[in-house]
Amino acid sequence: MRSPLRKYKWLVVILSLIMPTLGIATEISVTVPLDLDQPTYAVPWKRYSQWVPTDWSNYSQLRQEIARPVSFIQHVETPIKGNPDKGKKLIADRNKGNCAVCHLLPEEKLPGNVGINISTIGTWQRTDEYLFNYIYDPRIYNPSTVMPPWGAHEVLTKAEIQDIVAYFKTLTKPVQFADPLENPDKRPIPVEDRNNLDELENPAMFAVKLGEKLYNQPGPRGKSCRDCHDNPQQTFVTWAVRMPKVEPRLNKVIGVEEFVTRHARATTGAEYLAQTEENLAMAIYLRYLANGQVISIDKNDDNTRIALRRGEKLMDRKIGQLNLACNDCHHTSANKWLRGQYLGDFVGMLDHFPTYRTSRTEIWDIRKRFQWCNVSVRANELPPDAPEYGDLELYLTIANNGRTLSVPGIRN
């Protein structure tokens, strides 16, 4: 026999979404239709074509920690007789030491200042063995260092480290800057002053129109989003600023993008896979409707607190061949320079996603930002709907509670 409540199902769903936006408390318990069985991304998951398909499965990632103990001191024959010319090339090699990413060094364009100025390291009277081991595995001397263990993690061979030490011993004069912009200590902090909601300034504004079109477009089952949510400007005025949230049926945190995929499948039958143009457009449109509202994730729910603790731990997990954690770049080294890239802190990081990346000429959601960071530290990334990314997104969104949503963003 058909349940007498079934015909009121969609009315209950609509009321549960609208009533909180009008400030009306409700005790209605609603199970929002979601596809709970399939992944939200294309299977098999493949790294983006523009990324080198390197496998870093021997190093920790966000899902799995792989033990890489701190090394013992490596004894080397001294004085080290490396090749300083080879060492000079190695410290600028993006695939090798690339020391100028973090350190001031002579003749290097746009050096960083995450690390100390080592332009006169040849005068510091450090032993060759000390210099060798500090490059091989700096954790021997400084357990909390953000410097990668270049030798212990097989980025540099012992012979290459000896060449770098030989080059460092030639550095005796402070670096001079002909252009003040080359000096990271005086380089002006970048300010994003483009109007991200201006179609002429931000190419991602086209996604708002596409999202609105998809919202009104019937899916394979003949239904559209508007059939259930006739007034999106009112229904979704605060919805996006309360996402992501814990979804108990999936036992994880889901964000707007994953919700779009799973809810569309269960209702209209539309297939908006993660990080596709359609998924990004719908996610941007739903956030656009909440622009000007304050991010306000409720931290008092037990499940949310549990996920928040998981996210907090993930922020400290050292991952990848470069052995870096989120907090190493965006807390310990925040407001400093990696080469020409400025490291912001966590506040201000979430209120503009999805965002148009001018350097990539494409829109990124926050999960793609996580994936890109993973690969940057040479760690295997996870699929877009990974629970670990959900915990990180929740943690960062709560860190941005109180900030005003402004989507789509635009950044370099």
Strand ranges (E), 168-260: 245-247, 252-254
Q: What is the pLDDT of residue 31?
A: 86
Quick check: do 84-182 and 194-412 share a fold? Answer: yes
The CA distance from 96 to 89, in Å, is 9
Cβ proximity of 264 and 383 under 8 Å: no
Question: What are the residue ranges in the chain where pLDDT is below 70?
Answer: 1-30, 49, 51
Q: What is the pLDDT of residues 207-258, one digit of tens each?
A: 999 999 999 999 999 999 999 999 999 999 999 999 999 999 999 999 999 9
Cβ proximity of 326 and 379 under 8 Å: no
Q: What is the pLDDT of residue 94?
A: 86
How many angstroms separate the most distant Cα atoms in the chain? 89
200's CB contacts (< 8 A; 6+ apart) are none
201's CB contacts (< 8 A; 6+ apart) are 194, 195, 410
User: In the chain, what percentage of residues exceed pLDDT 90?
Assistant: 82
Name residue 390's amino acid: G
Phi and psi (nearest 5°) for 410? -145, 130
The CA distance from 384 to 394, in Å, is 14
- Global pTM reads 0.90
The CA-atom distances, in angstroms, between 162 and each of 20, 28, 83, 125, 140 are 65, 69, 8, 17, 18
177's CB contacts (< 8 A; 6+ apart) are 183
Name residue 13's amino acid: V
Exposed, middle or buried by CB within 10 Å (0-12, 13-18, 19+), for 15?
middle
Task: Return the domain boundaries, the chain.
Answer: 84-182, 194-412
CATH code, 194-412: 1.10.760.10
Question: How many residues are given for the chain?
Answer: 412
Exposed, middle or buried by CB within 10 Å (0-12, 13-18, 19+), for 183?
middle
Give domain 84-182's CATH superfamily. Cytochrome c-like domain (1.10.760.10)
Q: What is the pLDDT of residue 11?
A: 52
Q: What is the pLDDT of residue 18?
A: 52
Q: What is the pLDDT of residues 130-176, one digit of tens each?
A: 999 999 999 999 999 999 999 999 999 999 999 999 999 999 999 98
Q: What is the pLDDT of residue 23?
A: 44
